[in-house]
Amino acid sequence: MTSSFENKLKGMFWDMSPSARNKLVGKIISNPVDALRDEQVLLRVLSTLTWYELIQITGSEELIKLLDDSTINRLFPEGRRNFYTHAKKLLSKYTLSASG
């Protein structure tokens, strides 16, 4: 990951103490899927990162799993909910599973 991406993550968690923020950013960089299982972290990431950044750090198959309906329904504004509802459908349609 680039330092600009790391800075973007740090900026996303501006309201945390520096030590907690650094720990969380490190976790997102080293094990993003595990870090994004925390719904509050996932919601903030979905609201801040670009679609391409999300796919880059999680992979499309894992992103489909993370985008459950309850998480999507908690996004604001409505346009973002609609975006991720449609994005999940497209990912589901065009992503091939590793098992074939």
Q: Where are the domains of the chain?
A: 3-94
**CA 56: distance to chain centroid?**
10
Q: Encode pLDDT of 23-82 as tens digits.
A: 999 999 999 999 999 999 999 999 999 999 999 999 999 999 999 999 999 999 999 999
DSSP secondary structure of 8-69? HHHHHTTTS-HHHHHHHHHHHHH-HHHHTTSHHHHHHHHHHS-HHHHHHHH-HHHHHHH--H
pLDDT band at 95 (very low <50, low <70, confident <90, very high): confident
Structure confidence at residue 93 (pLDDT): 87
Whether the pLDDT of residue 99 is over 60: the answer is no
pTM over 0.85: yes
Residue-level pLDDT at 94: 81
